[in-house]
């Protein structure tokens, strides 16, 4: 119920909750010392709301000790900011994290569709402030059975949240905002501001608190810049492995610790196998559904992170997940899966490279294996190894891209059989177990596993290079891609595909620098 009730005289309203908040706004212009501030709105809509709050530093529930707001634009924006301050003052962090658009509208006595936009902006500003406060000001008391669930706004993470709640755990939903680009299709991206809003609404419909954290700067420097640098060198790195292993899941694990939880649940299709051997660490295991298996993109996770992760969908098929979502009445039950890289959603690769990486291509020759010029390209970085279409070399036998040279600005093509290789060189390798147990390699996220063995002895640890000998030839993979090493269904190592080193390795353990746990 709204805190301000309308006063009536002879059945007529003389003052509404909206009017009270507008005429006597709570906390307008007040920014507590040491507060964090979240903002939403701006030039696009003309309304801007900032919410500032301070979490009590020693309160085990993280109560809001002080709060204020500022707003520019329509009167409804001012009233919505005031309503937020009223709702969160003195509230524990996780209770404040349950406040959504409907709660703000109710505090104002109800809003017309035209004014509801103000409540949406106020909710966005509030939750950006809450996310910052959770990361910087909060250390909640540890609670047994509390689980942080990563929610992306899609069906998999929503079902993971439902399953976790049904197990009896206290669920706290968390979403990351990783990328913002006006040329992107935010509805198709799993990490945009639209995705954050959708995940928050889904969490609130489930009755669980939701926090979002802004990792756009960390994602840009830790993932996108690395990906762009790889393309500048003529490589094709896999950003998802780096994101999961260095940025995304680590940030949520750290947030979980601050929220009093040591467990992070995600909607990935993967499993974890605990090893009871003394001194051994847990290992990733492939999911039951081989089509949806995502263990490849999780292979960079450290063992201590794996020990805290839970993957409830690992023993399910996608059809079962959607059926469960239907039974639970989840609005995202039939939402299509995201297909693009999150920062490419709706943006072509070439256009993205030109805009963000200063990698505008320049024309150069397309040559065959003998160096004979067959045609021209507009930029070598737009081509990937194995590509057949888009070469502009009609009237010939089918030709495939065999390699690109960013320095010489050439694209080399040849027949399909020239793509085949019986060995793969992998650099910067991490092995979790002895190299003798490696029996399969996977070089593409959606590719198949290929029987193999390591070309030299290798102890657990880190290695500059290892040579992987294949039992059957495969098509060459672009340098920069990740190679995942398996022992059965278990991932026991990973590294980056590269061209063979110019000189042979001096020993079977070249580059061994440190143990792997």
> Where do the H-state alpha helices sit in 237-310?
239-242, 248-258, 303-306
d(CA 273, CA 253): 19
Q: Say whether both 198 and 243 belong to one domain.
A: yes
Rg (CA), the chain: 27
d(CA 96, CA 88): 6
Structural domain includes residue 276: yes
CB 150 within 8 A of CB 211: no
In the prediction, which pLDDT does 175 show? Answer: 93
Q: Are strands 170-177 and 210-214 parallel, antiparallel or unpaired?
A: parallel
Structural domain includes residue 194: yes
Query: Residue 317 corresponds to which tokens in the numbers above?
Result: 């098929």
d(CA 308, CA 351): 39
What value, to the nearest 5°, has the Cα angle with vertex 129 and ends 126 and 135?
A: 140
Of 91, 116, 136, at which residue does a domain stop?
136
In the prediction, which pLDDT does 56 show? Answer: 87
- The CATH number given to whatever domain includes residue 370 is 2.30.30.280
What value, to the nearest 5°, has the Cα angle with vertex 102 and ends 98 and 108?
A: 115
Closest CA to 253 of 310, 200, 202, 300: 310
The span from the first CA to the last CA of the chain, in angstroms, equals 54
In the prediction, which pLDDT does 291 show? Answer: 92
Q: Say whether both 113 and 159 belong to one domain.
A: no
d(CA 119, CA 263): 33
pLDDT in tens, 32-74: 999 999 999 875 668 999 999 999 888 999 999 999 999 998 8
d(CA 255, CA 147): 11
Q: Say whether both 340 and 287 belong to one domain.
A: yes
Burial of 387 (0-12, 13-18, 19+ CB in 10 A): middle
Q: Say whether both 93 and 36 belong to one domain.
A: yes
Structural domain includes residue 43: yes
Q: Say whether both 163 and 32 belong to one domain.
A: no
Query: Which three-class secondary structure state does DSSP give residue 477?
Result: coil
Of 91, 110, 136, at which residue does a domain stop?
136
In the prediction, which pLDDT does 514 show? Answer: 43
pLDDT in tens, 385-413: 888 888 888 777 889 988 888 778 889 99
Structural domain includes residue 76: yes
CB 188 within 8 A of CB 336: no
Q: Say whether both 399 and 427 belong to one domain.
A: no
d(CA 262, CA 517): 20
Query: Residue 271 corresponds to which tokens in the numbers above?
Result: 């499993």
Q: Say whether both 194 and 231 belong to one domain.
A: yes
% of the chain exceeding 90 in pLDDT: 56
Q: Say whether both 226 and 318 belong to one domain.
A: yes
Strand partners, 92: 63
Structural domain includes residue 508: no
Q: Say whether both 422 and 410 belong to one domain.
A: no
Q: Could you list the beta-strand ranges (E) of 286-433.
A: 309-310, 364-367, 373-377, 400-405, 410-414, 420-431
- The CATH number given to whatever domain includes residue 107 is 3.90.1010.10
Structural domain includes residue 222: yes
Query: Residue 341 corresponds to which tokens in the numbers above?
Result: 């890289």
Q: Say whether both 408 and 426 belong to one domain.
A: no
Phi, psi (5° rounding) for residue 490? -100, 135
- The CATH number given to whatever domain includes residue 438 is 2.40.30.10
Structural domain includes residue 78: yes
d(CA 100, CA 77): 15
Query: Which residues does the chain have with pLDDT short of 70?
Result: 1-15, 43-45, 180-192, 276-279, 339-340, 345-347, 357-361, 500-517
Count of domains for the chain: 4
Structural domain includes residue 512: no
Domain assignment of residue 470, given as a range: 418-498
92: DSSP letter: B
Q: Say whether both 111 and 153 belong to one domain.
A: no
Q: Say whether both 237 and 107 belong to one domain.
A: no
Active-site annotation, residues: 243, 342
d(CA 499, CA 427): 9
Query: Residue 30 corresponds to which tokens in the numbers above?
Result: 């007040």
Closest CA to 213 of 247, 249, 176, 246: 176
pLDDT in tens, 450-476: 999 999 999 999 999 999 999 999 987
Of 414, 431, 446, at which residue does a domain stop?
414
What value, to the nearest 5°, has the Cα angle with vertex 303 and ends 301 and 305?
A: 65
């Amino acid at each position: 119920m709204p805190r301000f009730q309308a006063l009536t005289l002879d059945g007529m309203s003389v003052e509404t909750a909206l009017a009270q908040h507008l005429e006597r706004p709570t906390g307008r212009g007040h920014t507590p010392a040491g507060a964090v501030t979240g903002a939403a709105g701006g030039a696009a809509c003309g309304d801007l709301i900032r919410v500032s709050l301070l979490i009590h530093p020693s309160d085990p529930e993280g109560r809001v000790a002080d709060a204020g707001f500022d707003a520019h634009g329509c009167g409804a924006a001012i009233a919505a900011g005031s309503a937020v301050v009223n709702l969160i003052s003195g509230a524990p962090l996780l209770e404040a994290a349950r406040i959504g658009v409907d709660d703000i509208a109710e505090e104002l006595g109800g809003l017309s569709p035209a004014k509801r936009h103000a409540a949406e902006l106020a909710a966005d500003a509030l939750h950006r402030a809450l996310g910052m406060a959770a990361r910087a000001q909060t250390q909640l008391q540890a609670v047994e059975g509390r689980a942080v669930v990563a929610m992306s706004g899609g069906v998999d993470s929503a079902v993971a949240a439902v399953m976790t709640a049904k197990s009896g755990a206290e669920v706290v939903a968390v979403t990351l905002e990783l990328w913002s680009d006006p040329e992107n299709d935010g509805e198709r991206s799993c990490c945009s501001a639209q995705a954050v809003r959708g995940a928050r609404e889904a969490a609130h419909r489930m009755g669980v608190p939701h926090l979002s954290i802004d990792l756009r700067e960390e994602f840009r420097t830790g993932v996108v810049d690395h990906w762009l640098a790889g393309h500048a060198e003529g490589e094709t790195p896999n950003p998802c492995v780096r994101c999961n292993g260095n940025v995304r899941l680590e940030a949520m694990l750290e947030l979980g610790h601050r929220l009093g939880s040591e467990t992070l649940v995600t909607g990935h299709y993967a499993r974890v196998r605990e090893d009871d051997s003394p001194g051994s660490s847990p290992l990733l295991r492939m999911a039951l559904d081989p089509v949806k298996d995502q263990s490849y993109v999780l292979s960079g996770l450290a063992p201590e992170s794996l020990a805290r992760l839970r993957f409830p969908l690992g023993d399910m098929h996608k059809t079962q997940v959607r059926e469960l979502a239907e039974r639970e009445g989840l609005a995202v039950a039939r939402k299509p899966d995201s297909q693009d890289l999150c920062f490419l959603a709706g943006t072509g690769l070439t256009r993205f490279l030109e805009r963000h990486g200063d990698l505008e291509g320049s024309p150069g020759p397309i040559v065959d294996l003998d160096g004979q010029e067959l045609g021209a390209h507009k930029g070598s970085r737009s081509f990937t190894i194995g590509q057949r279409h888009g070469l502009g070399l009609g009237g010939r036998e089918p030709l495939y891209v065999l390699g690109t040279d960013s320095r010489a600005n050439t694209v080399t093509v040849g027949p399909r059989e020239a793509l085949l290789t019986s060995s793969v060189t992998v650099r910067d390798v991490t092995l979790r177990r002895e190299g003798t147990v490696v029996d399969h390699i996977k070089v593409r996220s959606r590719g198949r596993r290929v029987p193999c063995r390591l070309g030299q002895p290798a102890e657990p640890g880190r290695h500059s290079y290892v040579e992987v000998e294949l039992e059957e030839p495969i098509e060459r993979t672009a340098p920069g891609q990740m190679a995942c090493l398996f022992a059965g269904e278990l991932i026991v190592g990973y590294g980056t595909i590269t061209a063979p080193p110019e000189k042979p390795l001096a020993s079977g353990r070249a580059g061994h620098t440190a143990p792997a746990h």
